[in-house]
Structure 1
């Protein structure tokens, strides 16, 4: 009987509610914005996989054209531009670190006090590096067009501009997202969890376009 009474007492106790963070729901529940972003990036990955498949298919059909056109590429310039984009991901991650610690901006600290920077400052630097990367890509396009490689010149030109151009559009979209995240830090007095979540998912996107470009760079510029 004692065992029955004990079991009854255990079952009669109300379940312990999941620990929650005020305004955020149960701790065990994943952030829906982050999950949605990851799912969307997965679809974007399939899109770029299609571009890679197109590149290798056409390259296999016309290897002589590829040998001729790839010799026209400025490898040192493209390498420097790639390093700029890779370094921008470092600044972006430092901004995420500041955002996760509730530091939206440097506050009253001086601009040259880098150790006091918040998410805003790191994201501004990230934006500048991303904009420089796009400017470098535009300069490369102008040089190639002047040398006779255009979107409609031959299959290589079509594939080159489609793959790198779509990536450039994605980088431009990331730059617009950075402007939105940076702008929100000027419109509120306190840096909230929702703002930090926006900064984090933007970093997911930026790291994604960074990794995709590394694969494109290796395929287009290094793989002969």
Structure 2
């Protein structure tokens, strides 16, 4: 009897609302995951265009691109890489805790992810600020005296386009994860039957991390 009473008094596991055009929650969740995968594919295609531009112009101006790459701050770029990779770990842990219904732990892990995202953007701000000061700017705004080679302005055009677009994705990912954190704190929404939102937000964040893993060696190392 005690066991039955305690079970009856325990809070019910959160269950998401089933939309009328889905046959079951499982179908609804699978549709959401498929939609996210398709969306992430389009995002990869978006960045692929920038990678192609990078490859073409590097082939045309190898000396200028090598010199321009060496002008970047490798230390700041490396720190940002470590920060972003670590943030992917905390985002994955948020999904793990969401599956087990530990909403406070979900909120903590997302909060840590957001802190590291802010750190990433702050470091990127200092990098941008330095480039504006010395004149390593895109296209016709380039006035840096240290590298006067054909193709250097185009390198920084690609640099700013790629990193600014990536930074925009970081901000979007932060908004999505922050919304999930609020839901975890205020409503305790997540549990074994309802963790898709955290999972999809984490998938998007992993894309942000993956894109930077490609951008870092291309811009800072190659």
Per the TM superposition, whether the score is higher than 0.5 is: yes
Q: Residue 199 and residue 189 in structure 1: after superposition, are their counterparts in 2 closer, same or farther (change >3 A)? A: closer
Paired residues of 1:178 and 1:202 also in contact (CA < 8 A): yes
Determine whether 1:85 maps to 2:72: no
Paired residues of 2:94 and 2:107 also in contact (CA < 8 A): yes
- What is the aligned partner in structure 1 of residue 178 from structure 2? 179
Paired residues of 1:181 and 1:195 also in contact (CA < 8 A): no
Higher relative contact order structure (alpha carbons within 8 Å, sequence separation ≥ 6): 2
SS of 1:31's partner is helix
Which residues of 2 match residues 203-222 of structure 1 at below 5 A?
203-222=202-221
Q: CA deviation at 1:187?
A: 3.4
Structure 2 unaligned residues grouped into runs of 5+: 1-14, 19-23, 143-152
- What is the aligned partner in structure 2 of residue 37 from structure 1? 36
Which of 107, 110, 134 is the aligned partner of 1:120?
107
TM-score by length of 2: 0.79
Q: CA deviation at 1:68?
A: 2.3
Query: In 2, distance between residues paired with 1:138 and 1:124?
Result: 21
- What is the aligned partner in structure 2 of residue 98 from structure 1? 97
Q: Residue 29 and residue 166 in structure 1: after superposition, are their counterparts in 2 closer, same or farther (change >3 A)? A: closer
Query: In 2, distance between residues paired with 1:26 and 1:123?
Result: 25
TM-score by length of 1: 0.79
Larger Rg belongs to: 1
Q: How many residues align?
A: 191
Query: In 1, distance between residues paired with 2:66 and 2:40?
Result: 33
Q: CA RMSD in A?
A: 2.1
